[in-house]
């Protein structure tokens, strides 16, 4: 099959690598640096290790920043769907892309992997006609592995295109995920409510941890004691400075702004409240020089979109605290003072804040402020 993928971010590139195991994949991407990296088989934008374990076929992948008029069997859209001012996800770039391509490639099957807002499918259908919505569930940091081993395949759409899309998406994966054929609106809800649940769970354990931190109680014991109940479980329960990343804040915002909710409507507020509490806690300690160990929300990912650590740093700076940052993977942003080694970071600062701790700084544990209790994401 000939497949075109539009957008080479986490979703587009991870799916391109997965589909390359059996198909010819062309990628259309407007970022010239990404185009030249991918042409050189450099997939480091995905910050993922052990790709050599996977049946990726580099010779099946091509990438360009120019539109072409090849006839593709499938066109997969992995464009950003950012929040607009009214807190709803924007699908206009998807409509533009499909609209333009359908003029020259009317027979391709169009599959949208970008996250759609509630009612987004209808907007696309009304504007440009038939397509399939197959929401993506991969995680940054393990995007390619997740593409090869998806937790489930959801196909929104009501006709024979859905079966063809399901065949394409299930034939290259290395597991046997459940495939659910559903209507568009249900597919939208499965995606958005999944991310909303994850955000809520993080917010829940963070609120619990805020209380324990302020009362000087041991969060580890409490969370462990709760999680022994199988209905709660000993997973996805590790406190942090707050949830961040590209998807959880914006997808939660989408649900809050499109539906009448009571519990969900408070999730993003709870996250802001968490960060405020962490800021106040640090300020009370009276530190003048604070080090920061890495900016991303997760170990193993360099993604810093909506990073709670960055929100924290900006707030601390406003209180006149000197900030020193160690993060070799994120060198290009902001004007913070950069430190080249963890040794120096710990030498020149009063305390180092770390959203997540890894082996390289465990030896400094007495000089670290973290809420990472279980050493996992
Ligand atoms: N990041 C995740 O973990 C994740 C997981 C599941 C779903 N999603 C959803 O998938 C979609 C894409 O997310 P992502 O994280 O891959 O985004 P991303 O920002 O990492 O990548 C998007 C890519 O599209 C390119 N692009 C933008 N406009 C373009 C255009 N007009 N033509 C061609 N290329 C263009 C950008 O340069 C970028 O490389 C979003 O809707 C997101 O919500 C993301």
- For 148, the domain range is 2-182
Same domain for 229 and 157: no
Same domain for 200 and 172: no
Same domain for 176 and 28: yes
138 is in an annotated binding site: yes
Same domain for 112 and 201: no
Whichever domain contains 65, its CATH number is 3.40.50.720
The predicted pLDDT at position 298 comes to: 82
| Ligand 1 center from residue 6 Cα (angstroms) | 9
Is 74 within a domain?
Answer: yes
Same domain for 205 and 136: no
Catalytic position from the list 6, 172, 189, 247: 247
Q: Which of 162, 182, 202 is the last residue of a domain?
A: 182
Q: Which of 182, 211, 246 is the last residue of a domain?
A: 182
| Ligand 1 center from residue 245 Cα (angstroms) | 13
The predicted pLDDT at position 334 comes to: 66
The predicted pLDDT at position 176 comes to: 97
Is 187 within a domain?
Answer: no
Is 365 within a domain?
Answer: yes
Residue nearest to atom 24 of ligand 1 (CA): 7
- How many domains is the chain built from? 2
Report, as ranges of residue numbers, the positions in the chain whose pLDDT lies below 70: 332-335
Is 339 within a domain?
Answer: yes
Same domain for 213 and 174: no
Pick from 224, 184, 350: which is nearest to 283 by CA?
350
Same domain for 143 and 204: no
- Known active-site residue 285: no
Beta bridge partners of 110: 75
The predicted pLDDT at position 236 comes to: 97
The predicted pLDDT at position 233 comes to: 97
Beta bridge partners of 325: 292, 338
| Ligand 1 center from residue 48 Cα (angstroms) | 17
The predicted pLDDT at position 29 comes to: 98
pTM of the predicted protein model = 0.95
Report the atom number in ligand 1 closest to the C-alpha of 139: 3
Burial classification of residue 209, based on how many CB atoms lie within 10 Å of its CB (0-12 exposed, 13-18 middle, 19 or more buried): buried
Same domain for 306 and 337: yes
Query: In the block, which residue shows the tokens 């924290």?
Result: 312
Pick from 284, 253, 238: which is nearest to 85 by CA?
253
- 97 near 110, Cβ under 8 Å? no
Same domain for 127 and 15: yes
Is 374 within a domain?
Answer: no
Residue nearest to atom 15 of ligand 1 (CA): 10
Interval 31-45: pLDDT, tens: 999 999 999 999 999
Same domain for 170 and 285: no
Query: Which tokens hold the place of 165?
Result: 């899309």
Same domain for 290 and 196: yes
Same domain for 323 and 300: yes
The predicted pLDDT at position 47 comes to: 86
Residue nearest to atom 28 of ligand 1 (CA): 79
Residue nearest to atom 38 of ligand 1 (CA): 9
The predicted pLDDT at position 330 comes to: 81
| Ligand 1 center from residue 80 Cα (angstroms) | 4
174 is in an annotated binding site: no
Interval 171-220: pLDDT, tens: 999 999 999 999 999 999 999 999 999 999 999 999 999 999 999 999 99
Is 267 within a domain?
Answer: yes
Is 376 within a domain?
Answer: no
Q: Which of 182, 217, 233 is the last residue of a domain?
A: 182
Report the atom number in ligand 1 closest to the C-alpha of 251: 43
Is 132 within a domain?
Answer: yes
């Amino acid at each position: 099959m000939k497949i075109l993928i539009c957008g080479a971010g986490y979703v587009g590139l991870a799916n391109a690598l997965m589909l390359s195991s059996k198909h010819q994949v062309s990628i259309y991407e407007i970022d010239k640096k990404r185009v030249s990296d991918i042409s050189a088989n450099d997939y480091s934008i995905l910050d993922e290790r052990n790709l050599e374990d996977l049946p990726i076929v580099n010779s099946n992948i091509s990438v360009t920043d120019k539109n072409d008029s090849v006839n593709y069997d499938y066109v997969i859209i992995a464009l950003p769907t950012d929040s607009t001012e009214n807190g709803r996800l924007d699908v206009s770039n998807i409509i533009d892309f499909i609209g333009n391509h359908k003029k020259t490639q009317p027979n391709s099957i169009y599959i949208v992997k970008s996250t759609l807002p509630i009612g987004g499918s209808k907007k696309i259908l009304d504007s440009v006609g038939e397509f399939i919505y197959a929401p993506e569930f991969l995680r940054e940091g393990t995007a390619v592995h997740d593409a090869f081993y998806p937790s489930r395949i959801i196909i929104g759409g009501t006709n024979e295109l859905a079966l063809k899309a399901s065949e394409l998406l299930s034939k290259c994966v290395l597991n046997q995920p459940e495939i659910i054929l559903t209507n568009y609106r249900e597919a939208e809800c499965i995606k958005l409510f999944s991310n909303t649940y994850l955000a809520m769970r993080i917010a829940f354990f963070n609120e619990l941890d805020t209380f324990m931190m302020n009362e000087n109680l041991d969060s580890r014991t409490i969370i462990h004691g709760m999680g022994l109940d199988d209905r709660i479980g000993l997973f996805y329960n590790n406190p942090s400075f707050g949830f961040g990343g590209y998807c959880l804040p914006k997808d939660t915002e989408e649900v809050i702004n499109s539906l009448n909710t009571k519990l969900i409507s408070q999730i993003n507020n709870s996250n802001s409240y968490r960060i405020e509490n962490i800021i106040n806690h640090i300020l009370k300690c009276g530190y003048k020089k604070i080090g920061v160990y890495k900016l991303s929300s997760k170990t193993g990912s360099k993604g810093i979109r909506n990073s709670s650590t960055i929100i924290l740093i900006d707030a601390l700076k406003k209180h006149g605290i000197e900030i020193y940052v160690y993060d070799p993977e994120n060198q290009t942003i902001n004007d913070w003072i950069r430190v080249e080694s963890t040794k120096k970071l710990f030498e020149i600062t009063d305390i180092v804040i770390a959203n997540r701790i890894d082996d390289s700084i465990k030896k400094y544990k007495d000089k670290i402020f973290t809420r990472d209790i279980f050493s996992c994401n």
